[in-house]
Amino acid sequence: MAETNPTRFTIGYALLLKKQQSFIQDSLLTLAKQRGIDLIKIDTDKPLVGQGPFDCVLHKLYGDDWRNQLREYLIRYPDSIVIDFPDAIERLHNRISMLDVVEEIEVNDDDDDDTASFGVPKQVVVYEPEKLKDMKVWSEGLGLSLKFPVIAKPLVADGSAKSHKMLLIFSTEGFDKLKTPTVLQEFVNHGGVIFKVYVVGRYVQCVKRKSLPDIDEEKLESLHGSLSFSQISNLTSDERNDDKYYKMMDSEEAEMPPMSLISNIARGLRKAMKLHLFNFDVIRDTKVGNRYLVIDINYFPGYAKMPGYESVLTDFFWDVLNKKEDRFFDCEKELMKLVGNNGGCDEDTGCPNVSSA
């Protein structure tokens, strides 16, 4: 039976148009309204401090101006809740610091599947990619034993079209197209399947999606240059299965990772990053089998793609607004900090809600 609340709450949302169109669906608005929560659009052409006040501000905007607007707003309305703080979000705009956080996760000794492990792929940031054509620099100067193929990604991950342009590089000739600065990440065969894990507060949902196909190691010597991810995605099924480059796997047959492991990673990331709305991508190293690698973390992802996102987000809003999760602003330190039921910082008191699909 749904909880009832005699008091209505307001959540002001500040989102770019594309995010509004995908996230603010009628189904979400209706369900939230039934729970006493009204989602109201913030006019980003006007100062935030002159709008509302809102019980909660939900946002995915960046920049110093917006950061200052949030600070001024919270000084005037200290009881308002903001999800999430810009400084915490900003860490995910750098593909190196993004994955460094995985190293901060404490291993849960109570994990039901202690045979599984997790980490991140070998990677390095390169500021002068033109020097990579020198094999000595490539093999010795990087400080990592990276080997081809590698994935080249822009260092900045700000959600722009430019930040999503990635290359799969097979040889030094493939470095010609690189722009500075670039992150080189070793490609790991993972069965052509990626696991996308959505986190909404304590709720965790894992789904599987098709990914880049495996690369036949016996054919690597014949591969040169690079391919963009869009080129690989546009290959026809026949081209992918002609055994020229790739080994394909039926994603439907892919086994889901242990949910205890996924929950442990999600809880650890949430605590380390002090964020509540994010997803992370995980692959299984087919050479090891029980080794899982976190390859990407995104703030406020496309939740509308997550089955049942309306009820998950509405439940989260309800918990936040009813102080099961709280947030306060310290005017002296100029920071916002999560306070959970136990008074600690973002610490789960029990097992999170988890789901796999």
Q: What is the distance between the alpha carbons of residues 60 and 58, in angstroms, rounded to a whole number? A: 7
Residue 314 near residue 116, CB atoms below 8 Å: no
187 annotated as a binding-site residue? yes
174 annotated as a binding-site residue? no
Say which amino acid occupies 160: S
279 annotated as a binding-site residue? no
350 annotated as a binding-site residue? no
Say which amino acid occupies 131: K
211 annotated as a binding-site residue? yes
185 annotated as a binding-site residue? yes
308 annotated as a binding-site residue? no
240 annotated as a binding-site residue? no
Please tell me whether residue 60 adopts helix, strand or coil conformation.
Answer: coil
193 annotated as a binding-site residue? yes
CA nearest 14: which of 51, 164, 37? 51
E strand map for the chain: 9-14, 37-41, 56-59, 81-83, 117-119, 123-126, 150-154, 167-169, 182-186, 193-200, 203-210, 214-215, 226-228, 246-247, 277-284, 291-299, 326-330, 335-339, 354-356
93 annotated as a binding-site residue? no
224 annotated as a binding-site residue? no
36 annotated as a binding-site residue? no
The residue whose two tokens read 């260092």 is 155
50 annotated as a binding-site residue? no
The residue whose two tokens read 């964020």 is 275
131 annotated as a binding-site residue? no
194 annotated as a binding-site residue? yes
91 annotated as a binding-site residue? no
> How do 37-41 and 117-119 pair as beta strands?
unpaired
298 annotated as a binding-site residue? yes
297 annotated as a binding-site residue? no
Residues at the annotated binding site for 1D-myo-inositol 1,3,4-trisphosphate?
19, 60, 164, 196, 298, 302
Residues at the annotated binding site?
19, 60, 95, 153, 164, 185-196, 211, 281, 296, 298, 302
Residues at the annotated binding site for Mg(2+)?
281, 296, 298
Residues at the annotated binding site for ATP?
95, 153, 185-196, 211
